[in-house]
Structure 1
C-alpha cells in the first residue's frame, strides 16, 4: 500500500489529461486506495465513480472478453461457439449489467469492481435506458459478431499451425527513464510463413485518428521486447468490427519517433501537476482545472463530485 500511486503513462491516461484535468486527478490520484475498506470517504467515492461504465463501453468490454475466450478455445482445441451462441452470450452480459445497475446499487457501492453500474442509469435515476441507445447496441451486436467471425485476424487464428501466438489481452509495460508505459494488446502473433509479426486491435466503435498512434506504441513495445531489428517485420492491423473492414499499417521510424515525442511532451505536462515528483504527490485538487464544456461534463463519471446537489 502506497500513500501515492506510482507514476506511469498510457495513451488513455494522456487522453484523460487532455480532456479534463479534474477528471485526470480523480482517476489517477484521488481514487487511489479507494478500494480499501479503511480508505477515506473521498477516495472511496472517487474509486466507486471511476468504475462506472456506459452502454457503449460495456458492450465493447463484453465483446473483447468473448473474443479473447473464443481465441483461447481455438488455440487449445476446444469447441468454437456458433455466431448465434456468441450473440446470445453478449446479450446475456448486457442484460446482467443492466439488472445490476437497477437492482444491486447497494452491492456495487461496497464492491464497485465486481458489479456493473451504467452511467445512463446512475445519473438519470431511472430504471430505463434511452431507447435510441439500446437500438444502436442491438444493431451493433449482430453486425459485430458476424464481422469478427469473417475477419482476417480470426482466419489467421484458425490457421494456427502457421502462426506463433504471443499474448492476448494481457497487461504489459515497458520502462522509459524508469517510468512504466502500459500497453494492452488484443492479439499478437508471428506469421511463420511470411516471417512477420502481426499486432491486432479489435474495434467495436468507429475509426479514429488516434488508432495509428496506439498501434505504433504497441509496435515500439514489441520491437524492444523481442529485439526485432526492422520495422518491416511488424504489421499493425485495426479490425473494425462495426464496419467489417480492417486497415493495416506498415510503420516507419517516423511513426515511432512521433509516439516517443508524444510521450515526452505528455509526461512533462503530467509532472507540472505534481507537488513532489519523487513521491508522485499531486497538487491540491483545486489546482486541477475543471472542464467548462457541458457536453463533456454530461458524460463524465464524476458529476456528483464536481456538481454536488445544492451547490
Structure 2
C-alpha cells in the first residue's frame, strides 16, 4: 500500500504522491508552531492562510508519546498498526480502520502497541467549509455546527470513533491520499486551493455519512437548539443548567452557550430564567399559591434568586405582579 518509505517522496497504491520522512519533517516545521504562552500547537501564518495541512505520518514506538493540544480541528485515519490514544486522562484503543476527530484545546497523545503506527492527518480551520457561502450570522453558525458536530462533541466514551473496513475504508483512504497528493503537488498555489477545499469536503461528507449510518441518533442532533428548547419547556419545574443540557446533546457547555446566543441573541441562562418566570407568572395569575410554593414549582431553589430573576424579566416583584394582576 505504502511504497518507498525511505525515499524523498513515497506513493500510495502507486498513484498518490505522499511526502517522505525528511519532507514530512520540513512540512511540519513550515506548517506548525507552538504558542509561546500556552504551548498549544498552532498553524504558522503560511498554513493559516490556506486553512488545512493534510499529511501522512509513520511513527515509531521508539519515540514515546508526546502530548499535544491543538489550536485547530483534526481528522485522523489509522492506516496501519495499533496504539492507545490518550485524551486527557482517558485511554482508548485505536487500530487500522479507525477514523476519529481531535477537538481543539483537548490534550492527547499516542502510545504504541506495535512497532509503527501509520496514520493520515487533516488538521484544518472551520472557515474553509463555508468560505464561498454568503449567509447571515445565524445561518453561518448553523452550517458550521452541521458540518462539524463530530468534532465538538464532549464524548468521554469516545463512542463516536468509527471503524471501517472493506471497500468503504479503501474509498475513504483513496479520497484522503488524493487530498494529500493535491496538497503536495499544488503546494500553496492560490489557483489550486479550490480543488483542495472541494476534495476535503468530499472526504468529510463521505465520513459523516458513515457516522450517520452507524449512529442514527447522530442526525437529529443537527437541530440541537430545538432539542434544548423542547427540553426546557418540558422541565420548567426542574433545575436546568448547562450540565444537564450537555448531557442530552453530547455537546460541550462552552459550545452550547456560544451557539445558542449566536442563534437566538440571548444567553441560554437568561432564556431558561425567562421561561421559568413566564411559568411563574401563569401560576401567580391563576392560583392562590404562596410565593414560596410558586418559586419551588418554577424550579428555583431560593427566594432571593427567584425575586432577583423576576424583577429582571418583569420589572417588578412577584407580590406586586400578583396584586396588579388580581385587580384587573
- Identify whether the pair has TM-score above 0.5, normalized to the shorter chain: no
Structure with the larger RCO, 1 or 2 (CA within 8 Å, 6+ apart): 1
Rg comparison, structure with higher value: 2
User: TM-score, normalised to structure 2's length?
Assistant: 0.24
